Amino acid sequence: MSSSIYLRFAGPLQSWAGAAVTGNIVHTESEPTRSGLTGLLAGACGFLRGERPGWLDDTHFAIRTDNRGAITDEFQTINPRTEETRFRRRLLLSQGINASSAKSLIYTPDAQGGTSIVNRTYIGGGEFIVQVTNTDHTDELISALQSPVFSPYLGRKAFAPVFPFVLGMGDPSAIYEIPSLRKPKRLPEDTATLSFSLYSPELPTQRHLSQVPVVHHRRSWLDAVREKLAPLS
């Protein structure tokens, strides 16, 4: 039976870019995307943009949503750069073109040369267990995750994952056996129903619900992870 690598995607913020509504509105998806996961592994392996080998696209991913988090809005501003305006004006004059059009060449989306407001959404406080399976290239992925060339991040470079990020290796069934951490309730629960997404090469995303065991303290969760998974080696 093939072994899978298990990662934990958790942190204050995550961003898994979805479709842009306009140039100024970019929403995150509700969970890590296949392209984002593949890019993270490619960076850990040291592949530059455009150099990604084909075997990474053969990787199977399973995502378990332990905590959806909350969608967080961020507003950014883009101001026209006066230095660039002056440079473009001189360039146009040298070409015999009316310099009054220089300002229109400064790109600030939807702001007609003025200050533009960009709206982005992120996942705040989310937590996902990610299963990575690539039987023919397990050793390369283990080496990359142990000593990544480019540090893994959760969709944007500013969003580093919190510890623990690499959980270990185990059977594919472990994604259903690792417990989910839940706050203690007056009426204790033994299981929780979680959402799972399966990303397989050249197949549509498959989603389903399944029950997993529950623990109420991080130490108990870490003990269970150590029991179910082996360290990367």
**190 falls within a domain:** yes
Boundary residue ending a domain (62, 97, 114) = 114
If asked whether residues 147 and 172 sit together in one domain, one would say yes
Residue-wise pLDDT tens digits, 21-75: 555 677 899 999 999 999 999 999 999 988 889 999 999 999 999 999 999 988 7
Boundary residue ending a domain (114, 134, 169) = 114
If asked whether residues 62 and 146 sit together in one domain, one would say yes
Number of domains in the chain: 2
Owning domain of residue 92: 80-114
**233 falls within a domain:** no
Residue-wise pLDDT tens digits, 114-144: 666 777 899 999 999 999 999 999 999 999 9
If asked whether residues 169 and 98 sit together in one domain, one would say no
**103 falls within a domain:** yes
Those residues with Cβ within 8 angstroms of residue 72's Cβ, 6 or more apart along the chain or in another chain: 13, 121, 122, 123, 124
If asked whether residues 48 and 101 sit together in one domain, one would say no
Residue 87: phi and psi, rounded to 5, are -60, -45
Those residues with Cβ within 8 angstroms of residue 132's Cβ, 6 or more apart along the chain or in another chain: 4, 5, 6, 7, 37, 41, 59, 60, 61, 141
If asked whether residues 163 and 48 sit together in one domain, one would say yes
- For residue 8, what is the domain's CATH number? 3.30.70.2660
Those residues with Cβ within 8 angstroms of residue 30's Cβ, 6 or more apart along the chain or in another chain: 65, 68, 123
Q: What is the mean pLDDT of the chain?
A: 87
pTM, two decimals, is 0.81
